[in-house]
C-alpha cells in the first residue's frame, strides 16, 4: 500500500478526498468514508486518507470504475418532508431524499442533514466544494429553524443563547426569538452555525423543552419560502453565489 505522497508524478497534485469532492462524487467527509471502506484505488492500490494524486496522470477508481471529469454542476433546494432520511441509501430500507429527485440526469447528494422527523430546506448538489462551503462551520453559514415546543419557551430562550455541552462540544444558538406563545409552549425561531447531529432537538432537551415540530426555514440568505413539502427547484446563480462566496 502506498504511503501518502509516495510515487507522485509532476502535475496538478491534490489530496485524494479533494479530488473526489471536486469531481462531484461526494462531500469531503463522505469521500473520507469511501476511502476508509477501501472503495477508492490509485493505480490499482487502495488509497489512504490524505494521500495525494494527479488526476491527469494517475488512474483513480471508485468501486472499480474510473473517476471521470464532472459534467454540469447541479444545485438544488428541496423542502424535505418528514419521514425521509438525508442519505443516498439506507441500510434499514427507509425512504431517502434521493427518491424525491429521481428525474435528475446527474447524481447529487444531500448537503448536511435533517433528521427523519424534521422537514424543511435541504440543499443537494454534485459540487463538493460548494457542499463544504455551506456545511462546514468555519464558513459561518447560519441555519434558521422554526421549532414548535412544549414547555417554558420564554425561559428556555435565554438558556439556548448560552453555551450548552453536547457530546463534549460546546454549542449555542446564535439567535433565538419567540414567534408565538401558548399556555403549554410556543414557537421559537432558532439560528445556529455548528449543525451537529440533532443539535436543535438536543439543545431544546437540555433546556427543558419538548420539540413537537421542527422545520429549517433558511440557510444563509436562502429562504424556503412557500415551497411545499417534497417540492424542489434549481438554485439561481445569485442564490448559489450567496452560499458559496464565489
At 130-160, the pLDDT tens digits run: 888 898 888 889 999 999 999 999 999 989 9
The CATH 3.30.70.580 portion of the chain extends over 75-138+224-244
CATH topology of domain 142-219: Alpha-Beta Plaits (3.30.70)
CATH topology of domain 13-66: 3.10.290
What is each CA distance from 77 to 124, 137, 234, 235, in whole angstroms?
A: 6, 20, 6, 6
Q: Which CATH number fits domain 75-138+224-244: 3.40.50.620, 3.30.70.580, 3.40.50.1360, 3.30.390.50?
A: 3.30.70.580
pLDDT at 2: 37
What is each CA distance from 75 to 82, 115, 128, in whole angstroms?
A: 22, 21, 11
The CATH 3.30.70.1560 portion of the chain extends over 142-219
Helix, strand, or coil (residue 32):
helix
Whether 115 is catalytic: yes
The CATH 3.10.290.10 portion of the chain extends over 13-66
At 158-191, the pLDDT tens digits run: 899 999 998 888 998 999 999 999 999 999 999 9
pTM: 0.73
Catalytic residue among 115, 127, 167, 245: 115
Amino acid at each position: 500500500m502506498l504511503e501518502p505522497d509516495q510515487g507522485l508524478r509532476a502535475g496538478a497534485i491534490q489530496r485524494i478526498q479533494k479530488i473526489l469532492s471536486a469531481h462531484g462524487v461526494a462531500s469531503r467527509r463522505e469521500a473520507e468514508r469511501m476511502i476508509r471502506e477501501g472503495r477508492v484505488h490509485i493505480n490499482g492500490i487502495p488509497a489512504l486518507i490524505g494521500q495525494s494524486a494527479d488526476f491527469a496522470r494517475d488512474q483513480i477508481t471508485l468501486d472499480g470504475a474510473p473517476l471521470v471529469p464532472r459534467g454540469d454542476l447541479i444545485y438544488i433546494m428541496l423542502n424535505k418532508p418528514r419521514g425521509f432520511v438525508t442519505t443516498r441509501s439506507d441500510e434499514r430500507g427507509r425512504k431517502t431524499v434521493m427518491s424525491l429527485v429521481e428525474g435528475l440526469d446527474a447524481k447529487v447528494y444531500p448537503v448536511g442533514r435533517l433528521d427523519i422527523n424534521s422537514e424543511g430546506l435541504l440543499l443537494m448538489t454534485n459540487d463538493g466544494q460548494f457542499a463544504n462551503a455551506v456545511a462546514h462551520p468555519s464558513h459561518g453559514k447560519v441555519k434558521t429553524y422554526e421549532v414548535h415546543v412544549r414547555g417554558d419557551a420564554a425561559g428556555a430562550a435565554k438558556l439556548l443563547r448560552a453555551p450548552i455541552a453536547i457530546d463534549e462540544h460546546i454549542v449555542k444558538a446564535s439567535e433565538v426569538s419567540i414567534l408565538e406563545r401558548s399556555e403549554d409552549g410556543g414557537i421559537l425561531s432558532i439560528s445556529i452555525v455548528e449543525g451537529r447531529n440533532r443539535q436543535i432537538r438536543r439543545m431544546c432537551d437540555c433546556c427543558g423543552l419538548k420539540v413537537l415540530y421542527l422545520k429549517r426555514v433558511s440557510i444563509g440568505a436562502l429562504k424556503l419560502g412557500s415551497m411545499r413539502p417534497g417540492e424542489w427547484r434549481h438554485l439561481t446563480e445569485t442564490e448559489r453565489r450567496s452560499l458559496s462566496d464565489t
